[in-house]
Structure 1
Amino acid sequence: MKLRNICVAAVLSFSVIGCTLSSQNISLYDRLGGESGVDAIVYQLLVNISQDPRVFERFNGVDIEKFRAGFAQYICSVSGGDCEYQGDNMQQVHAGHDYTDTEFNAIVGNLIQAMEHEGVPTRTQNALLRRLAPSYKDVVYQ
């Protein structure tokens, strides 16, 4: 009787470990929800920005549809999706705008809120933020 319970527990433990290991092989892009997930995150980011007095004026005159499509493609590219970012590099896009640390942090905060709104787990959020972090130097000039 005890041996049977041990065997069942071992099988269940192996199943849980197997599931955990296989979920680690899923790309960040897929963990974000693939194309529809990334599109929803970017849409919600734009909603958040439009309601944020710290940064919404920075988007006056910006082609929002171009921004939406470009940022979704950029996230797809950096998160291991099957797309290649076709836009200008981050330094070219942000040149001459003199973005501040405060504005950069506000946009990052809005992105985090968008991911939370879409139910993205914190670990996945952090993985995306790690991949986006190197672009800081191309956005905020010091």
Structure 2
Amino acid sequence: MQKHVVAIILAIVLWQPLCQAQVGNSLYQQLGERAGINELMTTFVLEIAEDERVIEHFRNVDIERFHHMLGEHLCELTGGPCTYTGADMVEVHRGMAITRSEFNAIVENLIKAMEHHQLPTATQNRLLSTLAELHGEIVGQ
């Protein structure tokens, strides 16, 4: 019985700061703010560049602008102090005919980038959940 009580107390002591950290930090902060988002987007763009499943959609893209706009949009979506100045997602993706499989490939690239930067799983899931809301504005446009 004493072992169970000690285990429960230990779990509470260890869990409480983790919960407080999650509650007190916006997703923007968990991603490392502007610098962290910029680094993450750099890795993400490099992952896309090596992915034969989706690279065709990016052959004629201004990569510098693409990187900047991704970072700006992500900053805004995650609660940062940025204002996204690009076109809405439907307009950006119009005519690209991105399939569900291609969308999933892009998500895989983002996951690889997040894992490369050793982002906690909870942070990864929060970001993926935020971005999943854009699915309908991207796929099939």
TM-score above 0.5, yes or no: yes
Q: How does 1:96-111 map to 2 (within 5 A)?
A: 96-111=95-110
Question: Which 5+ residue runs of structure 2 have no aligned equivalent?
Answer: 1-8
Counterpart AA for 1:69: H
Per the alignment, residue 48 of structure 2 pairs with 49
Per the alignment, residue 84 of structure 2 pairs with 85
1:21 deviates by 4.2
Counterpart AA for 1:115: M
CA–CA separation in structure 2 for the residues paired with 1:16 and 1:113: 28
Question: Which 5+ residue runs of structure 1 have no aligned equivalent?
Answer: 1-9
CA–CA separation in structure 2 for the residues paired with 1:118 and 1:37: 9
1:43 deviates by 0.4
| TM-score between the two structures when normalised by the length of structure 1 | 0.85
Report the 3-state secondary structure (helix = DSSP H, G, I; strand = E; otherwise coil) of the residue aligned with 1:104: helix
1:19 deviates by 2.5
Deviations 1:43-93 (Å, cap 9, x if unpaired)?
A: 001111111111112111101111100011111111111111111000000
1:119 deviates by 0.9
Structure label with greater radius of gyration: 1
Q: How does 1:1-80 map to 2 (within 5 A)?
A: 16=14, 19-23=17-21, 24-80=23-79
- Among the aligned pairs, what percent are the same residue? 40
Against the structure 1 CA distance between its residues 99 and 16, is the aligned structure 2 distance closer, same or farther, given a 3 Å change threshold?
same
CA–CA separation in structure 1 for the residues paired with 2:98 and 2:46: 20
Counterpart AA for 1:123: A
Count of residue correspondences: 133
1:36 deviates by 1.1
Deviations 1:14-33 (Å, cap 9, x if unpaired)?
A: 86565334312111011011
Per the alignment, residue 133 of structure 2 pairs with 134
Output the aligned Cα RMSD: 1.9
